Amino acid sequence: MSSTASGKSGTWRNWGGTVTVSPAREVTPASVDELAAAVRQAAEDGLRVKPVGSGHSFTSIAATDGLSIRPQLLTGIRAIDRTAMTVTVEAGTPLKRLNMALAREGLSLTNMGDIMEQTVSGATSTGTHGTGRSSGSLAAQIRALELVTADGSVLTCSADGTEEERAVFAAARIGLGALGVVTAITFAVEPLFLLSAREEPMPLDRVLAEFDQLWSENEHFEFYWFPHTGSTNTKRNNRSAGPPQPVSRLAGWFEDEFLSNGLFQGVQLLGRAVPAVVPTVARVSSRALSARTYTDIPYKVFTSPRRVRFVEMEYAVPREALVDTVRELRAMVDRSGLRINFPVEVRTAPADDIALSTASGRDSAYVAVHMYRGTPYQAYFTAAERIFTAHEGRPHWGKVHTRDAEYFAKAYPRFGEFTALRDRLDPERLFQNDYLRRVLGQ
């Protein structure tokens, strides 16, 4: 039996529990040729096609009732070019595996998000990002892409290719799965370096008053605000000459597992069962924070385990609108009667040149709101979204939002460029699903 062969698949659910689907067919190709054959067969059989990674998107961007392509056999590093300082990796490779493999080779990505469970293709296709003054999202670090298009052909694109390849590259780095199935990604890398992290509680009013300075003085700055309090926890990551001073095993377990996952899970369960206690618990929790510093290789500083399951909305606003956005969000929570048991995360990214990047053409700040899985989130997210959109916000493609193609046509100056390319590459909408119909139009 070919590795692409499969009968009717079972039910698939995403990590956040917001999407459940039962595709008609599921394949797990072991090569690009097998994947291309599966795409051609699906087209002949009248099935829509969607690749699905680790399921960390909260939207239905990967959902299909047709052919679901699972990329777990398309993993590993294809090539390392130490002259060009690039690495080419198979699309189904988890970020964790990539980061560890690069570290063994004395290499690293420049920037990354705060978790690394996603596949490289899923993370880049939805615009996953970390925080950075001058270094952008994972997609902004891409130097070349390989993808299988709707006719089953394999297309390679980069900024150095033909005019058509350059046009595809400008869009497909964050392609939403609308232009084809990504099969390999070439990332820019650099020699492995050290980052020093400084985590420190700070009053929200001070963070907002000094935000521009905190942003400009640190390579990577982010903060978490605890609703119902005036408290935040800030994190500053900057390159270091060393020596390494990693978090001790005991301290790491206590901070990252016991407090951030075990105890936090208990707090969430309590808040879901008895919402009235949330403000008191938030104040106690925020006062329990303490400062710490450590120095380690990048992925051990940028990323951390996230075992408490939640639902998330995140919007990018112009960086200059960040302070007003957070102040309005705080005022809304204070007057609403809502009980918010999850911190609000704030990060930044520089402008980039990717058509549907949330940072396309403008320096951006990201505000993410979360609720524990199983807790009603609609009222909170609706009120937050109203604030975000008032500041010309652009939602993360993989996180909860209610925006549609009409909104995005105004929010993204290059939206028409993307949809025109989609018309050329997928005129029959082989890669269409309900989500893409909403956000890109027919």
* pLDDT tens sequence across 319-345: 999 999 999 999 999 999 999 989 999
Q: pLDDT digit string (tens) for 138-193?
A: 999 999 999 999 999 999 999 999 999 999 999 999 999 999 999 999 999 999 99
Residue pair 315/396 in contact by the 8 Å Cβ criterion: yes
Contacts of 237 (CB under 8 A, 6+ apart): 195, 196, 197, 198, 218, 219, 220, 221, 301, 302
- The Cα–Cα gap between 69 and 230 comes to 46
- The mean-pLDDT minimum among 204-208, 263-267, 278-282 falls in 263-267
Query: Tens of pLDDT along 12-24?
Result: 999 988 999 999 9
Torsion of CA 126, 342, 132, 101, to 10 degrees: -60
Distance of CA 112 to the CA centre of its chain: 9
In the chain, DSSP finds a helix count (H) and a strand count (E) of 15, 20
How far is 208 from 326, CA to CA, in rounded Å? 8
Please, what are the domains in the chain? 77-191 (3.30.465.10), 194-296+308-395 (3.40.462.10)
- Tokens (6 digits) for 68: 């679901």
Residues in the chain: 442
Kindly tell me the sign of the dihedral angle through the C-alpha atoms of 422, 407, 351, 96: negative
Grouping H, G, I as helix, E, B as strand and the rest as coil, residue 14 is coil
Q: What pLDDT score was predicted for residue 5?
A: 40
pLDDT beyond 80 at 62: yes
Q: Please tell me the pTM assigned to this model.
A: 0.93
